[in-house]
């Protein structure tokens, strides 16, 4: 495994209808939207996830944890944790949970600021939320190194 600071990372924004995916390099601190994987009641097409992980070969997977504003967990937190555990169990890659409060809200704001559509149902922001999850994690890592 590469040393800390030089890892390839894939981030997931877990949702019950769509799962956003982003990739990035820890050293650069930025992410790129990669995909939006459809899900049925939170169950993704595992073949799509397997193909993405095989292609990008991350050293670490991040999964957004949608905590409440008062730091408490909710039903979606349990589902996101289960998703992360399944990725770890199936693909044997380290998984970290990342506080993702407001990332979807922020992603929608970015789309609107760039003149995007309001039809988020068909043109979701889940992949952009995954980018924000990855970049949040990178900032936290850089802060620990200081």
The tokens for 124 are 């979701």
User: Within a domain: residue 2?
Assistant: no
- For the stretch 24-58, pLDDT in tens is 988 888 899 999 999 999 999 999 999 999 999 99
- For the stretch 1-23, pLDDT in tens is 566 677 899 999 999 999 999 99
Please state, as a whole number, how many other Cβ atoms lie within 10 Å of the Cβ of residue 59. 17
Rounded to a whole number, what is the distance in angstroms from the first to the last CA of the chain? Answer: 23
Q: What's the predicted TM-score (pTM) here?
A: 0.83
Please state, as a whole number, how many other Cβ atoms lie within 10 Å of the Cβ of residue 3. 8
User: Within a domain: residue 3?
Assistant: no
User: Within a domain: residue 82?
Assistant: yes
Which residue range forms the structural domain that includes residue 38? 8-145
**What is the pairing mode between strands 60-65 and 8-13?**
parallel
Number of domains within the chain: 1
Q: In this structure, what CATH number is given to the domain that contains residue 134?
A: 3.30.420.140
Short-list 8, 46, 12, 10, CA closest to 25: 8
């Amino acid at each position: 495994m590469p040393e800390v600071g030089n890892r390839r990372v894939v981030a997931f924004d877990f949702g019950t209808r769509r799962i956003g995916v982003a990739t990035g390099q820890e050293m650069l601190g930025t992410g790129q939207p990669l995909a939006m994987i459809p899900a049925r009641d939170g169950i993704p097409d595992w073949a799509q996830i397997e193909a993405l992980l095989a292609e990008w070969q991350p050293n670490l997977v991040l999964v957004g944890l949608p905590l409440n504003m008062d730091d408490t967990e909710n039903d979606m937190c349990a589902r996101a944790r289960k998703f992360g555990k399944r990725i770890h169990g199936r693909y044997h890659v380290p998984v970290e949970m990342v506080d993702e409060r407001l990332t979807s809200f922020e992603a929608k704001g970015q789309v609107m600021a760039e003149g995007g559509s309001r039809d988020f149902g068909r043109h979701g922001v889940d992949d952009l939320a995954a980018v924000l999850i990855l970049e949040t994690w990178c900032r936290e890592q850089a802060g620990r190194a200081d």
